[in-house]
Structure 1
């Protein structure tokens, strides 16, 4: 029986596939998947489900996949309650508080903050003892302070290029983000040997790369 792995689509796909290949996983079907959303390895050891990050946590929690490969930002925002076994050290970036040049981080009064991550944002400002109104934004968060929708934003950035190109400045650094290997609790009980074997191989590759 194949281990079902939900893999986040997008920018982390290629480096994750390279890591899995180095760990001995047959990733040729993944590399040539075209528009397929479910891909089986030729040895039938693994079945990959390509999904958006938030859906990976949904699949894990519902038990329809054994393993999820997803960013720690998604895990935190969606209150992950499954087992996080390994930091793959891929897709590294960081949460930041950013806004326009005239933003005053110490200004009194209730401010409006735009973000894709309302839970993380709320917790951050609570830790500072500040009361804010959080507006969830699904698209380009950088627009919020530019069009007057919000006083500032909390978002993730890898290089800061998009912020700089839109004349936004970083006022504080929050948690760092990377891609994690997460396992459904029940699956770990039922498939412990296979799962830990894969984790061990991945860990060896990560150590060798560093």
Structure 2
């Protein structure tokens, strides 16, 4: 089978999760992006590209719930995993409250989620897409506030910003190519059943409601 695993913060836990499920592929070259072993293949794209690679080139992937929601890919998500936990929040200088952001500029790596959330709240905000260093946006005047992932909150506090509203909780999930689910039904279901017993931290997984 072809597994799509994100490079970056989820990579080590994702590979540990695969090992617990009986899939072992040795990653022995930091420059390579595809590894093959024992009839399996590991594809290592950027985290944000995992849904696309899973939908068009893979069978099973691991990504964050935010990544799947932002991509709008047509994937089946059978398992939620007990790692990669954080949250996506609205972050701004202390002077702002949520309603103050109406008509203002919001910078984010998650434009689809952000636009949908503000629309649901009846707030007309201008969404600006940035790919990194979001905390700079309010300081430089590019945006009035940001929507970003919060883990410890340390970077946010160092840049004199506060979390004013959580949009969603995030965790790693298993995603499955819907075509592969039909063509490789027994193989994929066997993996999901075995993977459902343990996640990368050795704890029982919870079912993810699509």
Q: Do the structures match in fold with TM over 0.5?
A: yes
In the alignment, the residues of structure 1 paired with residue 6 and residue 196 of structure 2 have an alpha-carbon distance, to the nearest angstrom, of 19
> 4+ residue runs of structure 1 moved beyond 3 angstroms?
none
1:118-165 deviation digits (Å, cap 9, x = unpaired) = 111111111111111011111211111111111111111111111112
Tell me, yes or no, if structure 1 residue 146 matches structure 2 residue 146: no
In the alignment, the residues of structure 2 paired with residue 140 and residue 161 of structure 1 have an alpha-carbon distance, to the nearest angstrom, of 14
In structure 2, what is the equivalent of residue 5 of structure 1?
Answer: 3
In structure 2, what is the equivalent of residue 48 of structure 1?
Answer: 42
Structure 2: tracts of 5 or more residues without a match = 205-210
In structure 1, what is the equivalent of residue 75 of structure 2?
Answer: 82
Q: Is the 8 A contact 1:39 1:47 kept in 2?
A: yes
In structure 1, what is the equivalent of residue 33 of structure 2?
Answer: 37
Spell out the pairing of 1:11-26 with structure 2 (5 A cutoff).
Answer: 11-26=9-24
Report the CA distance between 1:208 and its aligned residue: 5.1
Choose the corresponding residue for 1:59, options 42, 53, 60: 53
Structure 1: tracts of 5 or more residues without a match = none
In the alignment, the residues of structure 2 paired with residue 108 and residue 165 of structure 1 have an alpha-carbon distance, to the nearest angstrom, of 22
Report the CA distance between 1:89 and its aligned residue: 2.3
In structure 2, what is the equivalent of residue 91 of structure 1?
Answer: 84
In the alignment, the residues of structure 2 paired with residue 142 and residue 198 of structure 1 have an alpha-carbon distance, to the nearest angstrom, of 40
Tell me, yes or no, if structure 1 residue 169 matches structure 2 residue 159: no
In structure 2, what is the equivalent of residue 115 of structure 1?
Answer: 108
Tell me, yes or no, if structure 1 residue 136 matches structure 2 residue 129: yes
Q: For residue 209 of structure 1, give the secondary structure of its aligned residue in structure 2.
A: coil
In the alignment, the residues of structure 1 paired with residue 16 and residue 190 of structure 2 have an alpha-carbon distance, to the nearest angstrom, of 18
Structure 1's 109 and 171: CA in aligned 2 closer, same or farther, altered over 3 A?
Answer: closer
Q: Is the 8 A contact 1:6 1:69 kept in 2?
A: yes
Cα RMSD (Å): 1.7
